[in-house]
Structure 1
């Protein structure tokens, strides 16, 4: 078997290249020399390009995973159970306040509850007496009307408590609480997450007439969003539900996000459209405020004639492929089209099925230059 070092590349003779326009466009190279030079051959094929374009963006919290703890009554903060950065579960108590207004509404509910129980009992008893013909119908109808009014008042008092932030379990527990507990309200987290902001201090007056009504901001970063700015020329290439590759620089994390929203509006100042993508962050690699680059895929144009990028060399300013013809490589100029990360579309110059060099083509380029210098 011929060794690459013992059998250096030799340009074809004039008689061997008579069919070529220029003698130095051909390189004679045996199969043994091809193997020794580790030049890989492959046929030109049609394939689907994985085209994409780049867009920059910023990591922001998922707007569906932000919870705010606010108060709806005038009161004083007596306990702060969570600090900034603390993890919280859904419905966990983050603070406790005392409110005279809340105490009055709770008392109203308890009174309405007792009145309703009494009126419902009386209405049931008068109904039995009326059905036994021992009680006047008019009196029975009055008792039933009074019972209905008591139920309405109870429901109204319950709705007030719900509007002030109490849940059903807390309302049902009210009759069992000591009287001094009626002025207290537990503020609970609406979601699972971490305390991102605490906007109140112990002893602060809060509520409608106070200084603050929103006390805590809680963020769940298990999923984050990416706000991308897309130019109008690229906007038509972006599709909702498409997967995109995201990276935060050479040393930063990378991942795959899903586009969930493409704005139909163009910002008048930036002349770009907002595109939002959702990104899994279970490992807490992505932090709001990070700048990222996204590779957004372009919808396919169908199969095209393409070769590996390593197969293309530039010779005399023109893209060139080395086509294998018998024991020779022919340097053939081609016309390029679109490309992706690995493949280059060939618009003209070669046909499907022709065998070309797809690796170590720089060796062939160097040998071609050597033969030209010799001539």
Structure 2
């Protein structure tokens, strides 16, 4: 059974083909970083237009990579939300239309469920139940996962997500877009003792996150240390990264203690952060548990995670009708309550 996955939720066009017996057969990815760099962030209209240009050629490339034809595809999965509405509509329209033309089912997939299931693509996938820490540019969430499709939101960011805070702080340090990864690289050169940033919302009960105040603290620190030399930039980057990482680790530990689970999954763009991986590995070692990650190329948006999630839904007979509908805002918890979570 072979599923074609289409991911177009934001600024990356991801196309993949997943086989339930042979695994991942093809993975094509096009990033729009260069397109949006001059604007310092994603321009939704430009993102949508670029998806229109790239999606079909990437589907053709994926079929060629897998040495398949359209007749070999058993279903098409596409991201239906959350994300940028125009970008989502490109993938949904192409995916649903190809499914109709090829006479195969279409499967609409929740973007964050794709991230949550990305570690399942690895050789040593996690077993249920587990806690999932989903950290990306748009989301910071702790999810209790008891089974496939059974998700309980334990905590989330009440303002900026962790990845968004990384990018905004990087901009304060005059780092090129997208700045999150560049900030982390710069932080490796920083002195961890020069500045100390607060660990927001860790001095009170609960599992919610808040990173906007941390970004403001970083802005004030930048202002107070003008003009910035390169070492000061690195020291601020280190203090900021340490604060975010510590906050995520503290909240993840609370979620594990609250549920009694000893398995932790971390996914999303920020899960590629090496400092965060190291700290979570140390946490789980102390708890005699295990932490699971997707490989680095599957931390950011990609078609492989959508194809895999589509495969799961396809086997559960959750497919879509002919309507083309997307959900720019779509809480992951809705998947546990809908009889058919696919839109």
TM-score over 0.5 for the alignment?
no
Query: Considering only CA atoms, is the larger Rg found in Structure 1 or Structure 2?
Result: 1
What TM-score do the two structures reach when normalised by structure 2? 0.19
Q: Larger strand proportion, structure 1 or 2?
A: 1
What TM-score do the two structures reach when normalised by structure 1? 0.18
